[in-house]
Amino acid sequence: QLQLQESVPGLVKPSETLSLTCNVSGGSISGSRYYWAWVRQPPGKGLEWIGNIFYSGTSYYNPSLESRVTISVDTSKNHFSLRLTSVTAADTAVYYCARLSHGDSNWFDPWGRGTPVTVSS
Amino acid sequence: QSVLTQPPSVSGAPGQRVTISCIGSTSNIGTGYDVHWYQQLPGTAPKLLIYGNTNRPSGVPDRFSGSRSGTSASLAITGLQAEDEADYYCQSYDTALSGVLFGGGTKVTVL
């Protein structure tokens, strides 16, 4: 059974860079059927798509975050990563990694358990 | 407009039927992009509930059903149970955003 597990950065200072890794187990991150994605949820609010990446390295980002976001993939380690630069309090959220189906119809399944990130000095 | 609009909350008594709407536009649902639904129980990660407008993943009770028509979609829960109390999100693809779009979420309360 495929499982995803986010790393735990916890507290990040304003203006610094948030870095997270999602470790994938129970299946290979390589393959043409899926993307690998990041989604976040600010406290008490809804879900926001951050971006997703194909195993080949092709990535897609939410335009509202594109200038600050980089998603990368390491197939040898079966994990993918998120970097978000110049963070502010507005980036405080639970960050989820998830598998996103590839093709004409794109849904997220499964999801990691999520890791809370707080931006504060 | 890159927005999927859901009612903030719906409620119903045990055993009743409730529906959650997801209103989109011609840049997302109206273009023919599929709608997917997620259930988020308190303090947990979202879980796929319906994919491809009407399909239930293995293990999801048939009390949950989805539909899509025009620029909107709906999730129906029949025979409402206490364990269905959660937040529900719709999701689609948006051409103006060139990416994934989530609805704002609907909190279902079982009275």
Give residue-wise pLDDT tens across range A39-66.
Answer: 999 999 999 999 999 999 999 999 999 9
CB distance A95 to A5 below 8 Å: no
| Contacting B residues, span 21-50, partner chain A, CB-CB under 8 Å | 33-34, 36, 38, 44-48
What is the pLDDT averaged over residues B94-102? 93
What is the pLDDT averaged over residues B43-60? 97
Residue B91 touches chain A, beta carbons under 8 Å: yes
Please, what sign has the CA dihedral across residues B82, B49, B2, B43?
positive
- If you average pLDDT over every residue of chain A, what do you get? 95
pLDDT computed for residue A100 by the predictor: 97
Residue A47 touches chain B, beta carbons under 8 Å: yes
Q: Assign B1 a pLDDT band (cuts: 50, 70, 90).
A: low
CB distance A117 to A95 below 8 Å: yes
pLDDT computed for residue A31 by the predictor: 79
SS3 content of chain A, % helix, strand, coil (to 5): 0, 50, 45
Measured between alpha carbons, how far is B31 from B72 in angstroms, rounded to an integer? Answer: 11
Please give the share of chain B, as a percent, with pLDDT higher than 70: 98
Measured between alpha carbons, how far is A98 from A52 in angstroms, rounded to an integer? Answer: 9
**pLDDT above 80 (res A9):** no
- The tokens describing B82, both together, are 């206490």
- The tokens describing B12, both together, are 């119903």
**pLDDT above 70 (res B26):** yes
Q: Distance from B104 to chain A by nearest Cα, in Å? A: 5
Residue A113 touches chain B, beta carbons under 8 Å: yes
**pLDDT above 90 (res A10):** no
- If you average pLDDT over every residue of chain B, what do you get? 96
Please give the share of chain A, as a percent, with pLDDT higher than 70: 100
